[in-house]
Amino acid sequence: MGDQGRGAVDRLTRTPPYRLLLVVRNGATLDRLLSLLQVLRGDVPEIRFTIEPGSVFDHGLSRHVESRGYQVLTWQEATASSFDVILAAQASWQLAGLRGYLVVCPHGAGYNRLVPGSTGCDTVATGLVRSQLMHDGEVIPDLIYVSHAEQIGRLRESVPEAAERAVVLGDPVFDRIADSEVLRSRFRRKLGVAEGQKLVVVSSTWGRHGTLGTREDLIPKLLAQLPVHEYRLLVILHPNVWAGHSAGEVKLYLQDYCDSGLLYIPPNTPWEAGVIAGDILLGDHGSVTYYGAALGRPYLLVADGRAELDPVSPPALLSGESDYLDLEQDLLPQIERNLDPPEPAEVTAVAGAMFQERDRSWEILRNGILRAAGRPVPERAPRTIPVDDPEAPPGRRLTAWMVLAEVTDPGSGPMVAVRCFPRIAVERVVDFPEDYLMVAAEAEPDRLFRENSEIIVHVDPVDPPIGEEWTKSIFARYPGVGLVGYAFPEGSELRWRDGATVRVDHPDVVLAAAVVHCWRANGYPVDVTASVEVDLGGTWEKLTMTPLDHATPRLRQPES
């Protein structure tokens, strides 16, 4: 009990049934262990963490563990103590220095990735390498969990002595994700995805072969091409991306994109809900992509990571069979063509190739730990623990748009098609069309954006008397602005510089401004009441435009 010290026994209220040490190497292993800990709710041991030395991605790990309320031992303290069970989400020769029953498991979707820089082997996946599993002629782990029996076959080739200690666990994290599908609507609300919007999830593993390392232009291109009324964009980055560059650097890198509407999962926060909430995944050879595929989400690969995968592993084989996103072509049509869910047989095939023991993994994990600790094994399976809510997405509300609006008349009456895009992102794309309509909110901090806009709007609802005064001030301050609009509790009011004014029965003043501007620019009168169908891509809205003379009388300011 080397970490307790004088008086430690006296401070304890309950007597923990056994001692458990969790060994962390990087953010991915910590994320996995924090999830797996949930299986021990029914028989909570004394829990200690330690950080295995030597990883270039270990910055801030101790602080994060302590922020979750757990005690961290130094490596020296851990090796000087003994434990009933030791659980690690990585294999390593350094684990031989610990005393206790050692259980190792993958920290992703199985043992698939080649990491010669740390393992010294470029032909065997990390976790199955001899130097990680053997020390002084002895197998280091007492129990080796794998997600699929095919990994035991690969282990027999690389370390036959260790294969006898391998047991198929399945993937508890994937099972937890699959069981939490019932919370999909909740997660979408938490992420700010509106009814009718599609959530595109971009995942990137770490390194030069990942999505971000291969195509740094993906995020700005998506933001510039996905209409904001129809789509939201969410990015999930591997913990090693955050650790390798520092969280502050990555956040600064993403900030302009966040100002264009990007959502991202912050470091050290739950990411699983993002996979569940998504409508389509764009990814690479990382686990997140294949969790989504096994869940039944359509996906397209952006990066070909087979160069750092065991060529016989399921992700390598699936990478060879998957469709890829072509960034040299328009992205929106490619995404739209792939939004339909895959056939159930395809989903079953992907999941079956990646994971076994579906719905039993938590029970297998719990029972293995309890048996190692000499504890009684319950007859009942552990209850399902849902994945945690995603944290509130960072970023501020859009305040500048590039708008494409077009009137068509199929014979049943004119319709207006509207597509709005974040201006910051569009202006990063060199060859954007010249027929964009520039719209800015009063709250847009960039003065040039406001001065160069044809339309300025007040997005937050105000009472009409306040809105009228605000409209006059905007025309006075910005001589290049031709149309000004503000939202009020019952809709929106739009006024041209020549005095023509209409009210629209819709609170989205950006949408209302785009419709009335297009309507008048195409020769339709604004001095008569008109209803128009508005095509927003995936949804339709019906807007009624009423000249001010026919509108509801303006609200009066209270008399003093």
Q: For residues 20-26, give the mean pLDDT.
A: 98
376: which DSSP letter? P
Residue 95 has pLDDT above 50, yes or no: yes
Percentage of the chain lying above the pLDDT 90 cut: 89
Cβ–Cβ < 8 Å for 51, 62:
yes
Dihedral in degrees, nearest 10, Cα atoms 384, 46, 77, 120 = -20
Q: What is the pLDDT of residue 382?
A: 95
Q: What is the pLDDT of residue 146?
A: 97
Rounded (10°) angle between helices 172-179 and 287-295: 40
- Between 396 and 30, the more confident residue is 30
Residue 116 has pLDDT above 70, yes or no: yes
CA 399 to chain centre: 23
Residue 302: C-alpha distances to residues 265, 282, 352, 428, 430 (Å) = 19, 6, 23, 20, 22
Rounded (10°) angle between helices 287-295 and 314-321: 70
Task: Report the SS3 class of residue 182.
Answer: helix
CA dist., res. 452 & res. 75, Å (int): 59
Cβ–Cβ < 8 Å for 46, 19:
yes
Residue that has been written with the tokens 């019906």 in this structure? 542
Task: Report the SS3 class of residue 175.
Answer: helix
Residue 431 has pLDDT above 80, yes or no: no
Sign of the C-alpha dihedral, residues 122, 127, 129, 135?
Answer: positive
Q: What is the pLDDT of residue 411?
A: 79
Mean pLDDT across the chain? 93
Residue 469 has pLDDT above 90, yes or no: yes
Helix spans in 159-271 (H): 160-163, 172-179, 184-190, 211-214, 218-225, 239-245, 247-258
Token duo for residue 121: 């082997």
Residue that has been written with the tokens 């060879």 in this structure? 320
Task: Report the SS3 class of residue 15.
Answer: coil
Sequence-distant (6+) residues with CB within 8 A of 285 are 112, 113, 205, 209, 210, 301, 303, 304, 305, 306, 308, 309, 315, 316, 319
Sequence-distant (6+) residues with CB within 8 A of 105 are 32, 36, 87, 88, 89, 144, 145, 169, 365
Cβ-in-10-Å burial (0-12, 13-18, 19+) of 337 comes to exposed
Q: How confident is the model at residue 1 (pLDDT cuts 50, 70, 90)?
A: very low
| pLDDT one-digit tens code per residue, 520-531 | 999 999 999 999
Cβ–Cβ < 8 Å for 510, 401:
yes
**The pairing of beta strand 299-301 with beta strand 400-408:** unpaired
Q: What is the pLDDT of residue 560?
A: 40
**The pairing of beta strand 415-422 with beta strand 437-441:** unpaired
- Between 538 and 65, the more confident residue is 65
Query: In b/e form, how buried is each residue of 469-504, taking b as 16+ CB within 10 angstroms?
Result: eebeebbeebeebbbbbbbbeebbbbbbeeebbbbb
Residue 9 has pLDDT above 60, yes or no: no
CA dist., res. 90 & res. 104, Å (int): 6
Q: For residues 109-122, give the mean pLDDT.
A: 92
Q: Which domains does the chain have, with CATH numbers?
A: 19-171+360-373 (3.40.50.11820), 182-353 (3.40.50.2000), 400-547 (no CATH)
Q: How confident is the model at residue 433 (pLDDT cuts 50, 70, 90)?
A: low
CA 480 to chain centre: 40
Among 322, 261, 313, 288, smallest CA distance to 123 is for 313
CA dist., res. 70 & res. 3, Å (int): 13
Residue 536: C-alpha distances to residues 123, 415, 533 (Å) = 50, 11, 10
